[in-house]
């Protein structure tokens, strides 16, 4: 989302970023959560179009992602940015949503304001709401329902994944996963 970025499937159109993805549960979740989560620290969805095979998700364009911002900005206020990030994540968790892919590439900045984006891996933390459990078993994710894309093995980027989800055995991802990822973002920045 940063200046000059034009990754495959990403187009900059005026003040908007158009993310084109294959139709999938991940695309549906991203649209759903971006529409539901209205907050000053959450990326703003402008429009979405679901086609036969692809979905276009239009969000407001932000100047940088956190990776680029840290690289080009000397002496930025880490405490202020981290506070904004914590407030945004607190809001997400207050809505009983778990982000599950919090990392610098999914944190956007414009005019010193943090916006959390990319909700394609996000889930409700309330297991009873959809009888939905996300679990990690023997280094592969297994899913109890088809609400989660079973072909996507990239839930929680490994560098930001809590240790209990890295070891053999079964552990459920939850809000603690986002808190761990948040700490990793602070440590790495």
Please list the active-site residues: 101
Give me the DSSP letters along 35-75: HH---TTBPPEEEEEE-SSEEEEEEE--SEEHHHHHHH-TT
Distance CA 32, CA 117 (A): 12
Report how far residue 177's alpha carbon sits from residue 30's, in angstroms, rounded to the nearest whole number: 18
Q: Are 96 and 125 in contact (CB under 8 A)?
A: yes
Q: How far apart are CA 55 and CA 61, in angstroms?
A: 18
Q: Is-contact 57 26, C-beta < 8 A?
A: no
């Amino acid at each position: 989302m940063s200046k000059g970025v034009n990754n495959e499937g990403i187009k900059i159109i005026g003040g908007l970023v158009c993310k084109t993805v294959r139709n999938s549960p991940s695309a549906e979740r991203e649209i759903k959560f971006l529409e539901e989560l209205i907050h000053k620290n959450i990326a703003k969805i402008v429009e979405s179009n679901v086609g036969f095979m692809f979905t276009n998700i239009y969000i407001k364009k932000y100047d940088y992602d956190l990776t680029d911002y840290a690289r080009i900005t000397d002496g930025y206020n880490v405490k202020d940015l981290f506070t904004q990030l914590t407030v945004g994540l607190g809001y997400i968790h207050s809505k009983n949503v778990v982000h599950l892919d919090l990392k610098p590439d999914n944190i956007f900045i414009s005019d010193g304001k943090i916006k959390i984006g990319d909700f394609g891996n996000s889930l409700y933390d309330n297991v009873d709401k959809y009888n939905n459990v996300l679990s990690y078993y023997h280094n592969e994710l297994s899913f109890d329902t088809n609400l989660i894309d079973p072909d996507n093995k990239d839930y929680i980027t490994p560098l930001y994944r809590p240790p209990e989800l890295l070891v053999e055995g079964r552990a459920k991802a939850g809000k603690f996963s986002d808190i761990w990822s948040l700490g990793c973002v602070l440590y790495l920045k």
